[in-house]
Amino acid sequence: MSTIFEKIISREIPAHIVYEDESVISFLDISQATSGHTLVVPKKAYANIFEMPDDLLAHSIKITKKIADACKKAFPLQGLNILSNNGEVAGQTVFHFHFHVIPRYETSDVSFKFTNHMNETSKEDYKKRALQIKEAL
């Protein structure tokens, strides 16, 4: 299914494009979670990271680093988040894989809250979960 990003890529709708090459485009996120919030989007539409070919993913993260460096140069940022939401449950709203580049100016400008479940996680749980991942690799 076509998403709003394909319309931006084909110039059907406008966006503040900051970078473009044969396979990747980067433009300001309309929400501007912080000043300079930018998206890095592979031009070919894959819904999520699970569907992304390795070479395109590698190029996309390379461009993400380029955008991060440019943000660092352009803005008085104190830090920066790079994130990708994959699946509705993970907060994805546009089902065309992308990275968010989010400049950070202060601790409270965005809230990413991870709950620490360390106290409820037994040694066996850690061991089992690590083994499940290792066996799936």
Task: Pick the binder of ligand 5GP from 18, 24, 26, 29 (CB under 6 A).
Answer: 29
Separation of CA 90 from chain center? 12
The size of the interface with ligand 5GP (CB under 6 A), counted in residues, is 12
Window 97 to 126, contacts with ligand 5GP (CB under 6 A): none
> In the Cβ-directed half-sphere of 128, how many Cα atoms lie within 13 Å?
5
Closer residue to ligand 5GP in complex, CB, 10/121 = 10
Question: By the 8 A CB rule, do 96 and 6 touch?
Answer: yes
Q: Please state the closest distance from residue 122 (CB atom) to ligand 5GP, in A.
A: 33
Q: How far, in Å, CA of 28 to CA of 33, rounded?
A: 10
Window 47 to 86, contacts with ligand 5GP (CB under 6 A): 85
Q: Is residue 98 annotated as part of the catalytic site, yes or no?
A: yes
| End-to-end CA gap in the chain | 30
**Annotated catalytic residue, options 16, 98, 100, 117:** 98
- 130 sits near ligand 5GP (criterion: CB under 6 A): no
The DSSP letter of residue 114 is -
Task: Pick the binder of ligand 5GP from 19, 80, 92, 105 (CB under 6 A).
Answer: 92
Buried b (16+ CB within 10 A) or exposed e, 45-70: bbbbeeebeeebbebbeebbeebbeb
- 24 sits near ligand 5GP (criterion: CB under 6 A): no
- 10 sits near ligand 5GP (criterion: CB under 6 A): no
Residues that bind ligand 5GP (CB under 6 A): 4, 15, 27-31, 85, 91-94
Active site (catalytic) residues: 98
